[in-house]
Structure 1
Amino acid sequence: ERTKLHKLIDILVIAICAAICGCDNWEDIAAFGEAKQEWFATILELPNGIPSHDTFSRVFGRLNPDEFRSSFMAWISAASELIDGQVIALDGKVLRRSHDRGIGKGAIDMVSAWACENRLVLGQVKVDEKSNEITAIPQLLKALEISGCIVTIDAMGCQTEIARTIVDEGGDYVLALKDNQGNLFEDVQKLFADLESSHYQAYIYDYEKTVNKGHGRIEIRECWTISDPQILRHLRGFENWKKLQTVSCIRSQRWIGDEKTSEDRFHIASMVGAKRVLGSVRSHWGIENGLHWTLDLAFDEDRCRVRKNNGPENFAILRHIALNLLKQEQTCKRSIKGKRLMAGWREDYLLKVLSGLPHLSI
């Protein structure tokens, strides 16, 4: 097998098709190719038939993930146009079974960018083993086209350099604020405590409230924002945050039967308006269900044992390509997992999913 030559485009197309159809490792991808060889021969050259699973493993293990990721992002960028005000959520996810204890390699952490309105992956970057998400996020932001968009990140990404990068790239930010920004966090907490204790008379503020009912639960979310520059300039470290215009407190209350829970969350933002801030934060929460949960449930990502060389990172990109294509195919009303099965059963449906390659829209 090592002496046989295969075209890279053939290997990539087979791998993408297999990832769409439910294959989650190199052995399954090679077996899928063998089972569909007659069909693949109608669309690919296959000079030496279907590559073996070892060939898939070697190619994706050696494939430069930066180049593969750049190609993925160029494809999305060329085929899409971001709407002004679109929320782009950035969040990290550890691929739990990608570790290799035999060589002391830990599980990899991928930071992904998610277009919340149209539920598509825009890009991703692997967190360096000797670093953390704080250094990976600016790399991803600079590779994306975020002008006119609102970028949301959890508390790990609440850093002055990240805020500056977002603004420099033409975007706005809503960043979760926790005690990793000690002085600022304390000041913002105290600001809203003062507002509440004064019966909302101490400062000028904006307010928004949403109520959701269903499945035996009631959820109420209230958002208070303060955007008065004469107040904000007294926050410790305020001058370090580029275009900081708003601080917010979001109170989430949930009733399930007679049980009630309540939680306050704080954010900083480069825009004004309680409705916009609350809407952006709620959109950000969707990355858990729209991306992370789907990758675990429909793609079984956390159980994937691909772990050699660049294989885990490149397989993660394959999953993102497959997920985007499956989400864009709207004629089948089944779940993502159901669509994967349908594509594996029916070649005409697989072609329909693949036809989304040049037609992705945001």
Structure 2
Amino acid sequence: MAVVADPRDPRGIRYPLASMLATAVCAVMAGACTFAAMADWVRDLDPPAWVKLGFTGKLPVPSTLWRLLTRVDDTELSVVVTRWVRARTASVPVSGRRWRRVIAIDGKVLRGAKLPDGRQVHLLSAFDTSTGTVLAYVQIAVKSNEIPAFTPLLDLVAAQLGSLEAIVFVADALHAQTAHAREVASRGAYLMVAVKANQPTVFAQLKSLPWAQVPVGDRRTDTGHGRRETRTVKAVTVATPGGLGFPHAEQAVRITRTRTVKGKTTREMAYLTVSLPAEDAQPVDLGAWARSEWHIENRLHWVLDVTFREDAHQARTGTGPAVASVLRHAAINYHRSNGEANIARATRRANRRSNDLIDAVTSSYTTTQ
């Protein structure tokens, strides 16, 4: 934490920067959802725990912690904390010849947070579906959208992983952009993206393919929560002159989802392109990668809203909204690195075992739990 730039005036510093930031990180890992809750968490600890965090004598009042967290550089803090969590995360076992790291990209609006002009804060995140951790995020610029933030997000992911070689990025139809496809390919990675009416030419081409003549490549049926869903995957390599009208697209994919809920059956079709050839991406792989796009919704956004009440947090000053999001991401990443599937339960356990949590965060031994 000490490598993060200190935004405070040196003449008024009373508490070490690393101690303040470690306090915020630990508090959110223990379930604190607001800046006030972070301050309450540290004040409820015993004196030996205060010493471990670097406080001797006095503790910072809530306003002191709040002033720091609304001024610190959120991007720098995110890089430092994510690098720390990745250093203590066990490597993912590789299984199968075609195994690839799949990273889902999607945006989320922090509904309770506001910017000075009244706009809501909007973040674009990269989620590693194999480890369930957030690798990086970019805050959407004023009067903009997710599209210009795509390349800066790739830069941050590359900085964390060292290279994007052979990684598969999955995204929704908003990112079916020719510039995105070329950028991903230039870095040695691959893009699997849904195509809708925002790319009318490619969408029409995909729909007009002779799908009735394409054999079913994979079919899976799941049941649960009163619903039965069957997903049928068809994939075809377009060998006509010019191929698909989308850069680096190797295969056209159609996924048919048939759902039956309370006796009522609905069917929808999704069209996608992927920049991997058939020998490296079979229909069973394509179906799994398409479903992994929803991991960022189910395993990240849902947890942020339900467990950490992100949409209810009305952080509106300086970098406060983004810093609060960084701390929540760090908490999820930390608990997932410990093999926790239920983040809510993990935060409750961490709160009951505050000393163990502080030891894990302040120790230089990467495997301390």
- Percent identical among aligned pairs is 27
Superposed CA offset, 1:159-201 (max 9, x none): 111112222222111111111111111111111xx332xxx1x
| Other structure's SS at 1:174 match | strand
Selected match of 2:354 from 347, 350, 358: 347
Q: CA deviation at 1:39?
A: 3.6
Question: Does the C-alpha gap of structure 1 residues 184 and 28 become closer, same or farther in structure 2, counting only changes over 3 Å?
Answer: same
Q: CA deviation at 1:20?
A: 1.0
Question: Does the C-alpha gap of structure 1 residues 357 and 58 become closer, same or farther in structure 2, counting only changes over 3 Å?
Answer: farther
1:98 aligned onto 2:128: no
Question: Does the C-alpha gap of structure 1 residues 306 and 153 become closer, same or farther in structure 2, counting only changes over 3 Å?
Answer: same
Q: CA deviation at 1:53?
A: 1.7
1:265 aligned onto 2:270: yes
Selected match of 1:249 from 248, 251, 254: 254
Amino acid at match of 1:195: W
Question: Does the C-alpha gap of structure 1 residues 90 and 39 become closer, same or farther in structure 2, counting only changes over 3 Å?
Answer: farther
Q: CA deviation at 1:92?
A: 0.5
Gaps of 5+ in 2: 1-10
Question: Does the C-alpha gap of structure 1 residues 141 and 205 become closer, same or farther in structure 2, counting only changes over 3 Å?
Answer: farther
Aligned residue in 2 for 1:175: 193
Structure 1 Cα separation of the partners of residues 266 and 359 of structure 2: 45
1:112 aligned onto 2:125: yes
Question: Does the C-alpha gap of structure 1 residues 6 and 351 become closer, same or farther in structure 2, counting only changes over 3 Å?
Answer: closer
Amino acid at match of 1:156: L
Aligned residue in 2 for 1:87: 102
| Other structure's SS at 2:234 match | strand
Q: CA deviation at 1:345?
A: 2.1
User: Is the contact made by 1:325 and 1:356 (CA closer than 8 Å) also made in structure 2?
Assistant: no
Amino acid at match of 2:189: G
| Other structure's SS at 2:351 match | helix
User: Is the contact made by 1:16 and 1:322 (CA closer than 8 Å) also made in structure 2?
Assistant: yes
Amino acid at match of 2:33: D
Amino acid at match of 1:13: A
Structure 2 Cα separation of the partners of residues 195 and 17 of structure 1: 53
Aligned residue in 2 for 1:156: 174
Gaps of 5+ in 1: none
| Other structure's SS at 1:247 match | strand
Query: Any residues of structure 2 matched to 1:148-297 within 5 Å, and which?
Result: 148-191=166-209, 194-196=210-212, 200=213, 207-230=217-240, 233-235=242-244, 237-238=245-246, 241=247, 243-271=248-276, 272=278, 273-297=282-306
Q: CA deviation at 1:40?
A: 2.9
Structure 1 Cα separation of the partners of residues 257 and 181 of structure 2: 25
Query: Any residues of structure 2 matched to 1:300-319 within 5 Å, and which?
Result: 300-319=309-328
Question: Does the C-alpha gap of structure 1 residues 205 and 72 become closer, same or farther in structure 2, counting only changes over 3 Å?
Answer: farther
Structure 1 Cα separation of the partners of residues 365 and 224 of structure 2: 36
Selected match of 2:36 from 24, 27, 35: 27
Aligned residue in 2 for 1:122: 135
Question: Does the C-alpha gap of structure 1 residues 357 and 340 become closer, same or farther in structure 2, counting only changes over 3 Å?
Answer: farther
Question: Does the C-alpha gap of structure 1 residues 321 and 165 become closer, same or farther in structure 2, counting only changes over 3 Å?
Answer: same
Aligned residue in 1 for 2:3: none
Aligned residue in 2 for 1:45: 54
Structure 2 Cα separation of the partners of residues 126 and 286 of structure 1: 20
Question: Does the C-alpha gap of structure 1 residues 294 and 353 become closer, same or farther in structure 2, counting only changes over 3 Å?
Answer: farther
User: Is the contact made by 1:173 and 1:269 (CA closer than 8 Å) also made in structure 2?
Assistant: yes
TM-score (norm 1): 0.87
Amino acid at match of 1:168: S
Amino acid at match of 2:318: N
Question: Does the C-alpha gap of structure 1 residues 45 and 349 become closer, same or farther in structure 2, counting only changes over 3 Å?
Answer: closer
Amino acid at match of 2:274: A
| Other structure's SS at 1:121 match | strand
User: Is the contact made by 1:176 and 1:267 (CA closer than 8 Å) also made in structure 2?
Assistant: yes
User: Is the contact made by 2:53 and 2:358 (CA closer than 8 Å) also made in structure 1?
Assistant: no
Q: CA deviation at 1:343?
A: 1.5
Superposed CA offset, 1:263-285 (max 9, x none): 11111101132222111001111
Aligned residue in 1 for 2:345: 338
Q: CA deviation at 1:79?
A: 4.8
| Other structure's SS at 2:314 match | coil
User: Is the contact made by 1:225 and 1:249 (CA closer than 8 Å) also made in structure 2?
Assistant: yes
| Other structure's SS at 1:151 match | strand
Aligned residue in 1 for 2:26: 17
